[in-house]
Amino acid sequence: MHLGVSESMRECEYSQISTRSSTPMETPYKKRTPKKRKWEAFPGRNKFYCDGRIMMAKQTGVFYLTLVLILVTCGLFFTFDCPYLAQQLTPIIPVIGGVLFLFVLGTLLRTSFSDPGVLPRATSDEAADLERQIDVANGSTGYRPPPRTKEVVINGQTVKLKYCFTCKIFRPPRASHCSLCDNCVERFDHHCPWVGNCVGRRNYRFFYMFILSLSFLTIFIFAFVITHIILSSHRNGFLKALKDSPVVVCFFSVWSIVGLSGFHTYLISSNQTTNEDIKGSWSSKRGKDNYNPYSHGNIFTNCCAALCGPLPPSLIDRRGFVQSDTPQLASPTNGITMYGATQSQQSHMCDQDQCIQSTKFVLQAAATPLLQQQSSEPVILTASPENGVSLPGRTSLALGGPCTSLPLGQPTPPTSTPSLSCHEATDIHPLQEPVAHHHFLTPEEVPSPPGMLHCGSPLGHSHTVQAGFYNPASQDSLHEDSVRGLVKLSSV
């Protein structure tokens, strides 16, 4: 009977994999796990409202200011100027004003509330795989590896892809890590405090529509307020006219908004981001052969592509449910390691997880005597992977010891001073106002701490997933690798 079963199994060669769900352990356990939405476990520094439908940056104070300024100015215009103008000139004026106002508000809210194109962080398996590839490429050296970059040739131009230590991915071209929101954003333009969100691939067109319509609105209001004053002053005298019309739009603010729209029109027509323009990435000053590889060639196509092209969907599934067997990386707070975070998230451990935990304990127990004997024991530095599954040298960092105090993926501290604030954007305001600066933060990665500090609690976890299925014969290779990892640690 037993033999018969194995023979029939051999006949069908491989066991049929259920394609219903992406992970085999999902279905039986879904009922037991508490239903938590993915936005609740989102690792970035974003705020979510309406059960994950609305996504904004952490600091939203300036956004509310923007809203108030627009509402107050338009409110004053409609209350004080429109009745006079509708009477004296034509009632179409308030109608057009109303339409513009609604469009401005709509695009502002759309820009502020939508996902700018955040790239989800790598899963632990992906991160481990990348680490392994990088280790293989670097060789097993004891010192800190150089900053990780990959070069890619795009339409004849060499572009460097940087590795993001927080998100554990190689950033796609044109993506950048926003230090305020702690996310990698696709086609990152800039972080705009006025809209309270990053401006990236998915909301750039809304942002552009917002500033364009706002320019039209400010010019419209400014023009008709002046008209009102002039018309009034013909009858009543200039000073009385000014008194009757309390809305005096700041001349500079109009030109700031118009200037910003002009700048972004230029960016769109040349298919550049603010980031690239400020850095001069595709400027001809850098070299004769330097050109923008992303440009479609002509202004019309560039504009159409940016404004009317297909709208990519959000890559972070905000309203989906967290899968209990694929633990999400929780946001690092107070140095809680992946291990701790996982434990707090999953109240029900399935068999696989228990196997993982027990394997971890085994590794910890095994490595502790190695730690003590470190100096005396000859170190076997073997780089060759065992059993077709390779372990990067950081396996040992699943240990409790050196790693628990280290934060998980150190979030890059927000750059307090904007590296370049060349564009001033103020909104319409009845009174004279100090011109505020548009924060064009060019987010740069914080210089990475010694590579070993990015240890490997996620790596440790992924290794134990793999380790759980090793046969005891490969435990020795595990020990060798963990010793190798320990040596690396000690050499920091």
Active site residues: 192
Q: Does 290 bind another protein (CB under 8 A)?
A: no
Dihedral sign for Cα atoms in the order 301, 188, 455, 450: positive
Residues 388-407 that bind another protein (CB under 8 A): 388-389
Residue 420 has phi, psi (to 5 degrees) of: -145, 125
Angle formed at CA 151 by CA 148 and CA 157, multiple of 5 degrees? 145
Q: Does 380 bind another protein (CB under 8 A)?
A: no
Choose, by CB under 8 A, the member of 81, 115, 182, 186 that binds another protein: 186
Site string for another protein, 25-54 (x = CB under 8 A): x-----------------------------
Angle formed at CA 378 by CA 376 and CA 381, multiple of 5 degrees? 140
User: Could you give the CA distance from residue 71 to residue 228 in angstroms, rounded to a whole number?
Assistant: 20
Tokens found for residue 334: 């107070």
Is the CB of residue 429 less than 8 Å from the CB of residue 69?
yes
Task: Give me the least distance between CB of 123 and another protein, in Å please.
Answer: 7
Residues 90-109 that bind another protein (CB under 8 A): 102-103, 106-107
User: Could you give the CA distance from residue 136 to residue 138 in angstroms, rounded to a whole number?
Assistant: 6
Residue 58: name the closest of 194, 197, 231 by CA: 197
Q: Does 2 bind another protein (CB under 8 A)?
A: no
Which residues lie below 8 Å from residue 148, measured CB to CB, with a gap of 6+? 134, 162, 163, 170
Stretch that binds another protein, among 7-15, 229-237, 260-268, 447-455 (CB under 8 A): 7-15
Choose, by CB under 8 A, the member of 137, 226, 311, 380 that binds another protein: 311
Residue 193: name the closest of 68, 61, 47 by CA: 61
Q: Does 289 bind another protein (CB under 8 A)?
A: no
Strands 190-192 and 197-199: antiparallel
Choose, by CB under 8 A, the member of 8, 87, 158, 405 that binds another protein: 8
Provide the residue type at 146 as one letter.
P
Stretch that binds another protein, among 167-175, 262-270, 450-458, 481-489 (CB under 8 A): 167-175
Is the CB of residue 208 less than 8 Å from the CB of residue 262?
no
When the beta carbons of 431 and 473 are compared against another protein, the nearer one is 473
Is the CB of residue 478 less than 8 Å from the CB of residue 470?
yes
User: Could you give the CA distance from residue 195 to residue 58 in angstroms, rounded to a whole number?
Assistant: 12
Q: Does 417 bind another protein (CB under 8 A)?
A: no
Q: Does 384 bind another protein (CB under 8 A)?
A: no
Is the CB of residue 181 less than 8 Å from the CB of residue 191?
yes
User: Could you give the CA distance from residue 360 to residue 74 in angstroms, rounded to a whole number?
Assistant: 63
Task: Give me the least distance between CB of 352 and another protein, in Å please.
Answer: 8
Choose, by CB under 8 A, the member of 41, 248, 278, 465 that binds another protein: 465
Choose, by CB under 8 A, the member of 123, 270, 283, 290 that binds another protein: 123
Q: Does 466 bind another protein (CB under 8 A)?
A: yes
Tokens found for residue 433: 């106002």
Q: Does 74 bind another protein (CB under 8 A)?
A: no
User: Could you give the CA distance from residue 330 to residue 328 in angstroms, rounded to a whole number?
Assistant: 6
Stretch that binds another protein, among 21-29, 66-74, 327-335, 484-492 (CB under 8 A): 21-29
Choose, by CB under 8 A, the member of 304, 379, 422, 435 that binds another protein: 304
Choose, by CB under 8 A, the member of 238, 251, 266, 469 that binds another protein: 469
When the beta carbons of 193 and 458 are compared against another protein, the nearer one is 458
Which residues lie below 8 Å from residue 393, measured CB to CB, with a gap of 6+? 135, 140, 481, 484, 485, 488
User: Could you give the CA distance from residue 166 to residue 448 in angstroms, rounded to a whole number?
Assistant: 10
When the beta carbons of 40 and 126 are compared against another protein, the nearer one is 126
Q: Which parts of this chain interact with another protein (CB under 8 A)? A: 8-19, 22, 24-25, 102-103, 106-107, 110, 119-120, 122-123, 125-126, 129-130, 152-155, 159, 161, 169, 172-174, 186-187, 205-206, 209, 293-294, 296, 301, 304-305, 307-313, 315-317, 387-389, 465-466, 469-471
